[in-house]
Amino acid sequence: MTLLLAPMEGLLDFVLRDVLTRVGGVDRCVSEFIRITGTLLPDKVFLRYVPELHHGGRTLAGVPVRAQLLGSDPVCMAENAARLAALGPEGIDLNFGCPAKVVNRHGGGAALLQEPERIATLVAAVRRAVPAHLPVSAKMRLGFHDASLALECAQAMQAGGACEIVVHARTKLDGYRPPAYWEQIPAIRAAVSVPVVANGEIWTVEDAQRCRAVSGCDALMLGRGMVADPGLARALRAVDAGRPGSDAVQWADLLPHLQDFWRLVCEHLEPRQRAGRLKQWLNLMRRRFSEAEQAYQQVRTLTDQQAISWWLDALPRVGATADGQAPGAPAA
């Protein structure tokens, strides 16, 4: 089983990638999309989205990161892919799934799913522009308005040289509304010879098991489900090894990661973004942990960075005794 961490604009950025890959269980990450709009981007832009390029294209936990590009002009995409490749990413992924109106209006993301021939041209241009050893993969939805061109789009990606295709099993029109149509994936798998990864609505171990059974995919991409339950990948590995529950991640285990997340947010993000990012993560974790509900309610009205830092510092440490002291710590 291969488990990938999804790109999610405004949520699953390099800060959360760092923290979630420390929790464990993830084989590879994909970055948020880097939008290519007609200019050759400087290195600093690629490094801003994928600072892991400073560390051999891996998170600090050692998990490789594939950088994702989004655009519609083959020449410009190729030139930027070549510049990005020189920085040493694990690979380059191409976005054919973004449903955002501003992206689609300019012919990028999911809009290209209406024109398979343009997909093939774009993938081929990027494939030719980067070294042969560097993987070039693609992420797609089932289609724009419907799934009528799904097979043609996947075949176009393969024809252009994509070595792997992630299928978010919804159309652009579906957005992020459940369900995900995993039953559409087997036909795509049958239409191509490259590996296919299933994505969409995988929130729990049970969801993942059903997705594997319905889609036939041994590779899954986890997005919001992994954010809501940072231990999801580890739990899946335990089930796959026949040891369900043996590596469960509890709320107490996540507290040091929550504190690390806040530290990284304060180091790397603008002050106006910081409190919102912490609340955003806690809000999603309420789906999985009752303690996250309590934490969210406590921090919900806080906006001052120092106040949030004090709140986090006051959270009980892992392994703390009833009086809050860590085992073996001197009494106050």
pLDDT per residue as tens digits for the range 13-22: 999 999 999 9
Instruction: Look at residue 328 in the predicted model and tell me its pLDDT.
Output: 31
Of 29, 76, 98, 153, catalytic? 98
Share of the chain above pLDDT 70, in %: 95
Q: Are residues 296 and 259 in the same domain?
A: yes
Q: Are residues 230 and 269 in the same domain?
A: no
Q: Are residues 264 and 180 in the same domain?
A: no
Q: Are residues 167 and 275 in the same domain?
A: no
CA distance 295 to 289: 10
Phi, psi of 25 (to 5 degrees): 100, -10
Q: Are residues 64 and 109 in the same domain?
A: yes
Domain that holds residue 72: 2-240
Q: Are residues 262 and 183 in the same domain?
A: no
Tens digit of each residue's pLDDT (9 = 90 or more) over 38-63 = 899 999 999 999 999 999 999 999 99
Q: Are residues 220 and 97 in the same domain?
A: yes
Which tokens hold the place of 173? Answer: 């029109």
Composition of the chain by helix, strand, coil, percent to 5: 45, 15, 40
Q: Are residues 192 and 304 in the same domain?
A: no
> Residue 8 falls within a domain, yes or no?
yes
Closest listed residue to residue 70, CA positions, set 13, 11, 111, 14: 111
> Residue 128 falls within a domain, yes or no?
yes
> Residue 59 falls within a domain, yes or no?
yes
Using pLDDT thresholds of 50, 70 and 90, give the confidence band for residue 104.
Answer: confident
Q: Where are the beta strands (DSSP E) in the chain?
A: 2-5, 28-35, 65-70, 92-96, 136-143, 165-171, 196-199, 219-222
Number of structural domains (the chain) is 2
Q: Are residues 235 and 255 in the same domain?
A: no
Active site residue 98: yes
Q: Which of 208, 240, 272 is at the close of a domain? A: 240
Q: Are residues 215 and 151 in the same domain?
A: yes
The one-letter amino acid code at 301 reads T
Tens digit of each residue's pLDDT (9 = 90 or more) over 215-250 = 999 999 999 999 999 999 999 999 999 998 888 899
